[in-house]
């Protein structure tokens, strides 16, 4: 059996309670006793049993992250892992451990109830893809400390943190206007793609403000992949009036777009400016290097980690905000030389 608090107490000629207080910095203990106890702990190589501790204080110092994993998640959704890394860093700073569990939206309710009742974790971080109205009710009724990553697309009582994609769209449009581009196009994902939709909203609001009209033909939607980006660009180029800059709703679309422009020998940035969102995975390998509106997802994870810890302290706190602001990384693809 390994060394227990009683062994330490005995060796330090004191009681278990005192040792406990020394470890936790609670109560008031004389410096002499503190030194003696700490000395003995070191000598004996004592490490408090975490299981007994969790049990006694009724807390595990654990945050559970629930999301949908499964095959290819690492490749298709690197952002999620970036967020996770940020969360881990934040909670680790306060001595918490991050656990991860893959779950579907259907199983989520039952599982969350079990986890909470069984007290396996002190707080829950839920990816927006696993939440549902039923889960909202459960979490509210049971007052479960939680944060949802992503603003849920239904009315709810959840606390959430999200990225302000609308603002991202605004920044993209403003940047292009500032660079001297005057006729913008937007290549978006499918209509169900809320991220793409919010980015478009932001773009339109800026154009509206500047009284810039965007022709219907310059607004195109499709899949979020290279081929679609290529095809939508081809369509764009068939129009009588060409735009002088294009905003691609994501990396993959941008890749296809640049390929198409290259084939048509349209020079970037002189004849056509190109801007997109996020650094990864493709922005940096394209020539010319693309200007992007980037958001620091690691930081978003870090904020999430901090938030869930404060929710554990103050359970009636409601958190709802866009934690991390997007910013423009200017590169070659929008350096128009204004005559």
Partner DNA sequence: CTGAAAGCGCTAACAG
Partner DNA sequence: CTGTTAGCGCTTTCAG
Summarize as ranges the residues that interact with DNA (CB under 7 A). 1-2, 4-6, 13-18, 20-21, 23-24, 26-30, 32-33, 48-49, 52-53, 55-58
Kindly state the tokens that stand for 179.
């660079």
Q: How many residues bind its own copies (CB under 8 A)?
A: 57
**Which of its own copies, DNA, none sits in contact with 89, Cβ below 5 to 8 A by type?**
its own copies
Cα–Cα distance, 167 to 301 (Å, whole number)? 19
Q: Report phi then psi at 40, rounded to 5.
A: -60, -40
**Which of DNA, its own copies, none sits in contact with 335, Cβ below 5 to 8 A by type?**
none
CB 242 within 8 A of CB 233: no
Residues numbered 64 to 123 that lie near its own copies (CB under 8 A) are: 64, 69-75, 78-86, 88-89, 92, 97-102, 113-114, 117-120
Classify residue 198 as exposed, middle or buried by CB count within 10 Å of its CB (0-12, 13-18, 19+). buried
Binding to its own copies by CB under 8 A, coded x per residue (else -) over 230-259, reads ----------------------x--x----
Nearer to DNA, 14 or 151 (CB): 14
Maximal C-alpha separation, the chain: 91
Kindly state the tokens that stand for 276.
């997109």
Residue of the chain from 32, 285, 337, 338 that contacts its own copies (CB under 8 A)? 285
Residue of the chain from 58, 265, 316, 339 that contacts its own copies (CB under 8 A)? 58
Residues numbered 181 to 200 that lie near its own copies (CB under 8 A) are: none
Hunting for tokens 């000395």 — which residue is that? 39
Kindly state the tokens that stand for 326.
């997007």
Query: At its nearest, how many Å lie between DNA and the CB of residue 33?
Result: 4
Cα–Cα distance, 204 to 216 (Å, whole number)? 12
Nearer to DNA, 27 or 70 (CB): 27
**Which of its own copies, DNA, none sits in contact with 16, Cβ below 5 to 8 A by type?**
DNA
CB 161 within 8 A of CB 301: no
Nearer to DNA, 50 or 92 (CB): 50
Residues numbered 295 to 324 that lie near its own copies (CB under 8 A) are: 297-298
What does DSSP assign to residue 289? P
Q: Report phi then psi at 182, rounded to 5.
A: -125, -25
**Which of its own copies, DNA, none sits in contact with 29, Cβ below 5 to 8 A by type?**
DNA
**Which of DNA, its own copies, none sits in contact with 128, Cβ below 5 to 8 A by type?**
none
Kindly state the tokens that stand for 334.
């929008």
**Three state DSSP letters for 208-228:** HHCCCCCCHHHEEECCCCHHH
Nearer to its own copies, 229 or 243 (CB): 229
DSSP 3-state helix, strand, coil percentages of the chain (rounded to 5)?
Answer: 50, 15, 35
Instruction: Return residues touching its own copies (CB under 8 A).
Output: 2, 45-55, 58, 60, 62, 64, 69-75, 78-86, 88-89, 92, 97-102, 113-114, 117-120, 226, 252, 255, 279-282, 285, 297-298
């Amino acid at each position: 059996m390994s060394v227990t608090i009683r062994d330490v107490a005995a060796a330090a000629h004191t009681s278990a309670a005192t040792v406990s207080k020394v470890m936790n910095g609670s109560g008031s203990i004389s410096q002499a006793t503190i030194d003696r106890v700490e000395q003995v702990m070191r000598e004996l190589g004592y490490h408090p049993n975490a299981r007994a501790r969790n049990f006694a204080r009724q807390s595990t110092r654990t945050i559970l992250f629930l999301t949908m994993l499964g095959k290819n998640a690492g490749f298709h959704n690197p952002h999620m892992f970036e967020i996770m890394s940020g969360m881990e860093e934040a909670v680790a700073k306060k001595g918490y451990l991050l656990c991860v569990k893959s779950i579907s939206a259907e199983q989520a309710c039952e599982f969350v109830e079990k986890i909470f009742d069984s007290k396996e974790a002190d707080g829950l971080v839920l990816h927006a893809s696993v939440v549902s109205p039923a889960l909202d009710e459960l979490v509210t009724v049971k007052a479960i400390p939680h944060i949802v990553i992503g603003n849920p697309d239904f009315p709810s009582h959840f606390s959430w943190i999200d990225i302000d994609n609308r603002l991202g769209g605004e920044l993209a449009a403003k940047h292009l206007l500032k660079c001297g581009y005057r006729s913008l196009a937007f290549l978006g994902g499918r209509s169900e793609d809320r991220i793409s939709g919010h980015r478009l909203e932001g773009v339109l609001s800026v154009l509206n403000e500047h009284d810039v009209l965007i022709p219907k033909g310059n607004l195109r939607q499709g899949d979020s992949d290279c081929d679609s980006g290529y095809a939508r660009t081809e369509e764009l180029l068939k129009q009588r009036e060409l735009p002088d800059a294009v905003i691609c709703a994501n990396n993959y679309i941008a890749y296809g777009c640049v390929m198409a422009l290259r084939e048509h020998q349209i020079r970037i940035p002189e004849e056509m400016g190109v801007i997109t969102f996020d650094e990864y995975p493709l922005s940096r390998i394209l020539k010319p290097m693309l200007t992007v509106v980037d958001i620091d997802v690691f930081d978003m994870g870090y904020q999430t980690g901090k938030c869930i810890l404060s929710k554990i302290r103050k359970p009636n706190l409601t958190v709802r905000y866009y934690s991390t602001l997007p910013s423009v990384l200017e590169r070659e693809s929008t350096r128009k030389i204004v005559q």
